Amino acid sequence: MLWFEGRLVEGATVPFDLSDRGLTLGDGVFDTALCLGGRIAFEAEHVTRLVAAAAHLGFAVPRPTVETAMRALAAACPQAAIRTTLTRGTGPRGLAPPPDARPALWASAAPLRPGMAFAPLSLLPVETRRNETSVCSRLKTLGYLDAVLAARQAAQAGFDEALFLNSRGAVACAGTGNLFALKGECLVTPPLSDGALAGIMRDRILAHAATCGLRVEETAQPLSAYADADAVVLTNSLRLIAPVSAIGIRNIPSVDHPVVARLMEAVRRDVTGACGVAGIP
């Protein structure tokens, strides 16, 4: 189901201007959120990040418009993954943004993949590097081709996700999530300056660390630091917190680690509380 131009539309087809810069240049941003019980988990944070990302690119969308789109889909599809897309809109040929941008906004709802939340996964380190010097590394822009191709490579090799290093050789992120390594009582994660996205669940884990008896270090680390960790987890808004069972050929004992279990329980309470539901499918 879609929300487009102020109304809900069955299916996934609407009239669309093919000169839209989101289509021709990837000039736009998006957000993916979890909806349970007709409510969006951490809605305010998702809306704030999307509006701020558009402002960083130089165009604006009213916050109430984003909220209206997301809430309309949540009401119609009470258990779904909701993606909200925002482009600069149409423009003449060339790279220069039009001075009178007319942003285009739409949102879609898709069924949740069964068993996705909290499910363990394996990571394949790929040769493609995350460019930490690019503003795009810190925004969810429409230019996701590196992640698309890396996901295909990981799947062909029998892995669930790709793992990206940045141009300096430090761990940056997974293809669709942030990474945390557990070392004793310390939870290590790449700083945003290393090419990591400011994930909504990343922030939630940082907030819960102290209550789980952990201190946090946002610091650059090589791949070996994650491969040798006591446990590694991936976070995003749909997987929530996923124990990493392997990085390349190296097995990681994350699935049964007690600290990972504590973090998962904290996230479970967090999400069910935000959505007013009894459990997470």
**DSSP letter for each residue of 25-49:** H--EEEEEEEEETTEETTHHHHHHH
| Residue 11 scores a pLDDT above 90 | no
Tokens of 259: 């600290």
| Residue 237 scores a pLDDT above 90 | yes
Mean pLDDT of the region 42-52: 98
Tokens of 97: 């943004």
Closest CA to 107 of 202, 43, 24, 200: 43
Give the span between the Cα atoms of 184 and 108, in whole angstroms.
41
97-150 tens-digit pLDDT: 998 899 999 999 999 999 999 999 999 999 999 999 999 999 999 999 999 999
Closest CA to 190 of 161, 159, 225: 225
Give the span between the Cα atoms of 35 and 73, in whole angstroms.
9
Same structural domain for residues 31 and 100?
A: yes
- Spatial contact of 105 and 84, defined as CB atoms under 8 Å apart: yes
263-275 tens-digit pLDDT: 999 999 999 999 9
**87, 110, 133 — which closes off a domain?**
110
Looking up residue 57, the CATH number of its domain turns out to be 3.30.470.10
Same structural domain for residues 103 and 125?
A: no
Give 3-state DSSP helix, strand, coil % of the chain, rounded to 5. Answer: 30, 30, 35
| Residue 81 scores a pLDDT above 90 | yes
- The pLDDT assigned to 274 comes to 96
Mean pLDDT of the region 79-106: 94
Phi, psi of 61 (to 5 degrees): -135, 140
List all residues 6 or more positions away from 30 whose beta carbon is below 8 Å from its beta carbon: 50, 83, 84, 85, 86, 140, 141, 142
Same structural domain for residues 180 and 252?
A: yes
Task: Please work out, in degrees rounded to the nearest 5, the angle formed at the alpha carbon of residue 212 by the alpha carbons of 208 and 216.
Answer: 65
The rounded mean pLDDT for the chain is: 96
Tokens of 140: 């969810």
Same structural domain for residues 133 and 268?
A: yes
List all residues 6 or more positions away from 263 whose beta carbon is below 8 Å from its beta carbon: 205, 208, 212, 233, 241
Block residue for tokens 């490579």:
153
- The pLDDT assigned to 78 comes to 97
Regarding pTM above 0.85, the answer is yes
Same structural domain for residues 221 and 159?
A: yes
What total number of domains does the chain contain? 2
Same structural domain for residues 125 and 82?
A: no
| Percentage of residues in the chain having pLDDT higher than 90 | 94
CA-to-CA dists, residue 60 to 55, 86, 92, 112, angstroms: 5, 10, 19, 30
Give the span between the Cα atoms of 247 and 232, in whole angstroms.
9
Place 12 in a pLDDT band, splitting at 50, 70 and 90: confident
Closest CA to 250 of 111, 117, 125: 125
Give the span between the Cα atoms of 276 and 186, in whole angstroms.
31
Same structural domain for residues 166 and 270?
A: yes
**110, 137, 171 — which closes off a domain?**
110
Looking up residue 217, the CATH number of its domain turns out to be 3.20.10.10
Residue 186: strand pairing partners: 183, 215
94: left (phi over 0), alpha (psi -120 to 50) or beta: left
| Residue 29 scores a pLDDT above 90 | yes
Place 210 in a pLDDT band, splitting at 50, 70 and 90: very high
- The pLDDT assigned to 242 comes to 98
- The pLDDT assigned to 281 comes to 84
Mean pLDDT of the region 159-183: 98
Same structural domain for residues 70 and 140?
A: no
| Percentage of residues in the chain having pLDDT higher than 70 | 100
- The pLDDT assigned to 13 comes to 87
- The pLDDT assigned to 156 comes to 98
Boundaries of domain holding 50: 2-110
